[in-house]
A and B are shown apart, each in its own frame.
Chain A
């Protein structure tokens, strides 16, 4: 039989590499200086999905919502073994918060008629960990957060070991279900060289050079599907700015205030002087 599996993956700035030059003079983020990457835990979500498909058959479709550049992670997914990739892209989706994002993505999952959805636990750009659970609520799917080990998928549903920080739980969730996956769950498989040769050329319609015919690409299986909000039958009141209850009141760039500060030499004498001061004021000792 096999399962119809959807993976939601996001392209994110590599926040681990935020350094001095990733900031502009005015204190805002210089996005251009930050490489865009596959959100790390979404790779673990993809790996879990591929493992279920390999064991039971079915298809894995990777969906991302973002600008056409986000196709990069869709190509990456195809090279790792995903069967299908879809870019959800629409100007009207700009400024969506997690609630609006989860609405749009849930419409895509609905259209795909999925039995099982895998998300990363959280995206490293905001660490909110909200989009997965909010999609589950909108779809009426059983939610299972924090998958650390996939035990099996069977008639009763999907059985997983969840890591809840201060311990773990062994649970079975009825299908359809949405599962969020931790980075400790598995090691994402690398590209398969044959697939890499083929799918590195995959493109969505907006990425095609002038004169290249989309139909010809589609025939070769190299066209990444693009869906807009009309294709997803989205109700405009729930997307973008209008659909986002959270608003930014203000953004402050913090100037770290230098209070009383004392510097010590990186020498034995400096270390000794510091330590005796700490002992004197009863901070240590």
Chain B
């Protein structure tokens, strides 16, 4: 644990693998910049790996003032114990007030371990981050300028704001796509701080026999049109309505968590708080009720079309267009209309 340190920087963990950044640390730098400016402090990133010094440039261009570089051959591959030691060493030496980490497989392995070592708080899968005041009624104490870690709370339409008033750093994880990435500023420079953390062979607790990576086949974030299906599809065969409509519009198929849990569509197609956040030109929600954890990942779409048989479904409240009816009838009608409509247009 570190003491509350109002001069402390805002930090982002710069997750990289084999010399490539995931998108989420760059997205977090955009948000981090905003928070740091609001607090009047610097923005730092922690970059850990082997032979990764050249990657610092990208971090400066994305808004980082300082890059804390831990470069060591023993850190070529991510391992919980060694990376935790490196991150905690940096925290203790430089005392940041906030640490933001992507909620990736690595981030969700690293963060809890770091938080446990530092005995500080951690909020997973935040959908928004702000700076604000916290009043503790019990002791009548006011804490200024804390990190608001905002996320839907389980069940119903509840949004909880979590704070860590006393035991710092204030840590949060955020899924990829939640924070929009701002443009890089080519040529922007910053300060490189080399950190020696004294990692030894003893810190490598795992024997890694083989690593296999595959590029994700879905690009939900980049899709112009997303057609998402929910539990309302009823079964996997029927989910073809979603695929059909997606094909016919040149869009990407997606699903709610219920659809993923039911095995209708793989997990990397999940939209929402614990899936991917999308902002397409058109989002079509078919047989999706509109739970807050789902809408957290799609409500910023330019246009939303909801198809649901329940007129009271919450999804209609975030939609621009709605058809209240049985999806088994509505979707084929839409496909027919699209085929007709588009051909009229091309003919004309």
Residues of A whose CB lies within 8 Å of any CB of B are 13, 15-16, 18-20, 22-23, 27-29, 34, 97-99, 102, 125-134, 136-138, 142-146, 156-157, 159, 164-174, 244-268, 270-272, 274-279, 281, 283-285
Q: Which of B341, B342, B345 has the most CB of A within 10 A?
A: B341
Q: Would you give the shortest CB distance from B322 to chain A, in whole angstroms?
A: 5
CB within 8 Å for A99 and B115 given contacts A166-B213, A173-B206: yes
Residue in contact with A250 in the complex, picked from B146, B161, B319, B341, CB distance below 8 Å: B161
B166 touches A245 (CB 8 A): yes
Q: Would you give the shortest CB distance from A32 to chain B, in whole angstroms?
A: 12
B341 touches A279 (CB 8 A): yes
Q: Bound state CA distance, A130 and B322, in angstroms?
A: 39
Q: Mark B240-259, 1 if CB is under 8 A from A, else 0.
A: 00000000010000000010
The verdict on B59 contacting chain A, using a C-beta distance below 8 Å, is no
CB within 8 Å for A266 and B157 given contacts A171-B209, A274-B321, A275-B337: no
B337 touches A271 (CB 8 A): yes
Within 99-141 of B, Cβ neighbours of A (below 8 Å) are at 104-106, 108-109, 111-113, 115-117, 119-125, 132, 134, 136
A256 touches B157 (CB 8 A): yes
Q: Bound state CA distance, A245 and B320, in angstroms?
A: 41
Q: Would you give the shortest CB distance from A233 to chain B, in whole angstroms?
A: 18
CB within 8 Å for A98 and B333 given contacts A133-B109, A134-B116: no
Within 169-206 of B, Cβ neighbours of A (below 8 Å) are at 205-206
CB within 8 Å for A268 and B163 given contacts A166-B215, A174-B205, A283-B282: no
Q: Interface with A: B26-34, B44-52, B61-69, B310-318, which one? A: B310-318
Residue in contact with B323 in the complex, picked from A164, A246, A254, A264, CB distance below 8 Å: A264
Q: Bound state CA distance, A34 and B274, in angstroms?
A: 21
What are the 10 closest A-B residue pairs judged by CB atoms, nearest first?
Answer: A266-B325, A256-B317, A245-B121, A246-B121, A167-B213, A137-B116, A29-B155, A130-B112, A133-B112, A134-B116
Chain B residues within an 8 Å CB radius of A260: 320
B206 touches A249 (CB 8 A): no
Known: A143-B205, A266-B326. 7 other contacts (CB 8 A): A18-B156, A136-B113, A171-B209, A245-B166, A248-B162, A251-B158, A285-B342
Chain B residues within an 8 Å CB radius of A28: 156, 158
A284 touches B282 (CB 8 A): yes
CB within 8 Å for A143 and B109 given contacts A166-B213, A246-B122, A278-B282: yes
Residue in contact with A271 in the complex, picked from B115, B207, B323, CB distance below 8 Å: B323
A143 touches B115 (CB 8 A): no
Q: Would you give the shortest CB distance from B212 to chain A, in whole angstroms?
A: 5
The verdict on B221 contacting chain A, using a C-beta distance below 8 Å, is no
CB within 8 Å for A143 and B80 given contacts A246-B123, A268-B333: yes
Q: Would you give the shortest CB distance from B80 to chain A, in whole angstroms?
A: 5
What total of chain B residues lie within 8 Å of the partner, measured CB to CB?
94
Q: Bound state CA distance, A260 and B317, in angstroms?
A: 10
Chain B residues within an 8 Å CB radius of A284: 225, 249, 282, 338, 342
Q: Would you give the shortest CB distance from B86 to chain A, in whole angstroms?
A: 15
Q: Would you give the shortest CB distance from B268 to chain A, in whole angstroms?
A: 8
The closest CB in chain A to the CB of B311 belongs to A263
Chain B residues within an 8 Å CB radius of A29: 154-156, 158
CB within 8 Å for A253 and B158 given contacts A137-B84, A279-B342: yes
Chain A residues within an 8 Å CB radius of B54: none
Q: Bound state CA distance, A19 and B336, in angstroms?
A: 33
A127 touches B117 (CB 8 A): no
A144 touches B153 (CB 8 A): no
A130 touches B124 (CB 8 A): yes
CB within 8 Å for A126 and B319 given contacts A142-B205, A143-B109: no
Residue in contact with A251 in the complex, picked from B115, B120, B136, B159, CB distance below 8 Å: B159
A126 touches B330 (CB 8 A): no
The verdict on B93 contacting chain A, using a C-beta distance below 8 Å, is no
Q: Bound state CA distance, A174 and B134, in angstroms?
A: 43
Q: Would you give the shortest CB distance from B109 to chain A, in whole angstroms?
A: 5
B213 touches A274 (CB 8 A): no
The verdict on B277 contacting chain A, using a C-beta distance below 8 Å, is no
Residue in contact with B305 in the complex, picked from A18, A142, A274, A281, CB distance below 8 Å: A274
The verdict on B261 contacting chain A, using a C-beta distance below 8 Å, is yes
The verdict on B167 contacting chain A, using a C-beta distance below 8 Å, is yes
B163 touches A256 (CB 8 A): no
B112 touches A258 (CB 8 A): no
CB within 8 Å for A251 and B320 given contacts A130-B124, A275-B334: no
Q: Which of B122, B225, B326 has the most CB of A within 10 A?
A: B122
The closest CB in chain A to the CB of B122 belongs to A130
CB within 8 Å for A264 and B322 given contacts A164-B105, A252-B159: yes
**Interchain Cβ contacts under 8 Å between A and B, 8 examples:** A127-B274, A133-B113, A136-B113, A246-B164, A266-B333, A275-B334, A275-B337, A284-B249
A98 touches B122 (CB 8 A): yes
CB within 8 Å for A138 and B116 given contacts A171-B209, A173-B206: yes
Chain B residues within an 8 Å CB radius of A263: 321-324
Chain B residues within an 8 Å CB radius of A248: 160-162
The closest CB in chain B to the CB of A243 belongs to B119
The verdict on B239 contacting chain A, using a C-beta distance below 8 Å, is no
Q: Bound state CA distance, A132 and B112, in angstroms?
A: 9
Q: Bound state CA distance, A138 and B161, in angstroms?
A: 27
Q: Which of A174, A244, A264 has the most CB of B within 10 A?
A: A264
